[in-house]
């Protein structure tokens, strides 16, 4: 299989090399296969794609532009840093690209109730908005710790009609939210569509999410050729589960001149378990949430505690296609600490008047690290996967505590 063809469906129940699959209770196999069937019916259907294009243009607000950070580039010296402005989408992130596609699949299947998990809240907000648009009941599961960190997004979801369920088990973050959503799905499988937000989970979800998020790189590749008259030398995205990263990389995978870099959360440092969420740097293959991939796990094979300042990156696994791309060496997986992400967050805010999501700031941090080492003709394209409104209170609390200076 060519990893770069966004139209390709992985063989053998969604395996990307040895990763992926359907490691789920028997009760879910029928529902997953029904989603796979609906996806195959819709992905090349002109009427479905015409409706999808309508909502992407007139509801989401695509296409998103590429912006040259002239001030930041000048301050750093070296390469030109450009941003793919997914933060300019409706609701402020890349999440709606996939959510609109899956909500249309749910409607095609006759479902009237959707559930989802969320960490940073961006996916939950996107699902809630799409459910409101389509007149569907919506339940969002969110770790209690994340509801505290992302109180604004919780309120936004409730404003749009969702029932937000705080999950109090375990670390009370994204992994536990996924666990709770899967339990709901099993209990209400006939009426419910599970709208998964990242490129993780059992087949067909990694393929479905990659397909809908690949609009990012389809636009970006054409825009770079039109605006910069060249492809980027580096294409960089943050990675937790991996949806914005696989969307940003999909249409560059066949361009060997483009170095693809995914940046995960090094948290407080890579030297201590539980203080980071660097799955690719420190993880090993295993099974979590219905799929096989790289995981952060203990010696019993259980998901290990993780940490990141960004609620959307504190997940102990990563999408199976990313695991394959790591093994193939096509994508380079790096990490940035909480401090580096905060520094990048403030640098972009002050130099360009653009406040990035803390997730996106990890990708920017790596771009800022390498830009001074490259020539002025080099081009770095960063996926600015979301805006930072949701993270301002987190940063303000750190400033109030004297941990950073604003």
Which residues carry out catalysis?
69, 94
> Rounded distance, CA 392 to CA 276, Å?
21
> For the chain, percent helix, then strand, then coil, each to nearest 5?
50, 20, 35
**Other C-beta atoms within 10 Å of 13: how many?**
15
**8 Å CB contact between 314 and 118:** no
130's tokens: 């799409």
> Rounded distance, CA 359 to CA 270, Å?
17
> Rounded distance, CA 150 to CA 391, Å?
7
**8 Å CB contact between 213 and 89:** no
Positive or negative torsion for Cα 121, 125, 126, 130: positive
Name the strands in the sheet holding 291-295, side by side, starting at the edge strand that comes first in the sequence: 15-16, 19-20, 291-295, 284-288
DSSP state, residue 10:
P
Q: Coil, strand, or helix at residue 189?
A: coil
> Rounded distance, CA 190 to CA 223, Å?
43
């Amino acid at each position: 299989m060519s990893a770069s063809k966004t139209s390709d469906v992985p063989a053998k129940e969604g395996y990307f090399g040895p990763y992926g699959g359907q490691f789920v209770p028997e009760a879910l196999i029928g529902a997953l296969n029904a989603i796979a069937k609906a996806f195959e019916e819709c992905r090349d259907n002109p009427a479905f794609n015409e409706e999808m294009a309508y909502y992407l243009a007139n509801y989401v607000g695509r296409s998103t532009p590429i912006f040259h950070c002239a001030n930041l580039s000048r301050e750093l010296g070296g390469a030109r840093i450009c941003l793919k402005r997914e933060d300019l989408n409706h609701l402020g992130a890349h999440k709606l690209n996939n959510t609109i596609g899956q909500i249309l699949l749910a409607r095609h299947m006759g479902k009237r109730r959707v559930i989802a998990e969320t960490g940073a809240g961006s996916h939950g907000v996107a699902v809630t908005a799409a459910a409101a648009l389509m007149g569907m009941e919506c339940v969002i599961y969110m770790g209690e710790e994340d509801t505290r960190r992302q109180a604004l997004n919780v309120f936004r979801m409730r404003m749009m009609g969702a029932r937000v369920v705080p999950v109090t088990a375990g670390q009370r973050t994204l992994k536990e939210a996924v666990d709770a959503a899967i339990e709901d799905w099993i209990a209400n499988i006939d009426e419910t569509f599970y709208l998964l937000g990242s490129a993780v989970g059992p087949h067909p979800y990694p393929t479905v999410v990659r397909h809908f998020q690949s609009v990012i790189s389809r636009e970006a590749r054409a825009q770079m050729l039109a605006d910069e008259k060249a492809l980027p030398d580096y294409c960089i995205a943050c990675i937790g589960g991996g949806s914005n990263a696989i969307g940003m990389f999909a249409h560059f995978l066949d361009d060997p001149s483009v170095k693809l870099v995914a940046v995960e959360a090094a948290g407080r440092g890579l030297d201590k378990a539980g203080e980071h969420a660097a799955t690719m740097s420190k993880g090993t293959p295993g099974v979590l949430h219905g799929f096989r991939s790289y995981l952060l796990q203990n010696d019993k094979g259980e998901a290990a505690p993780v940490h990141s300042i960004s609620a959307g990156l504190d997940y102990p696994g990563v999408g199976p296609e990313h695991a394959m791309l790591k093994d193939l060496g096509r994508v380079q997986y790096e990490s940035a600490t909480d401090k580096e992400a905060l520094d990048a967050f403030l640098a972009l805010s002050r130099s360009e008047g653009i406040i990035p999501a803390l997730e996106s700031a990890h990708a920017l941090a790596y771009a800022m690290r390498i830009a001074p080492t490259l020539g002025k003709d080099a081009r770095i394209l960063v996926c600015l996967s979301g805006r930072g409104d949701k993270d301002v209170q987190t940063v303000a609390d750190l400033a109030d505590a004297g941990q950073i200076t604003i």
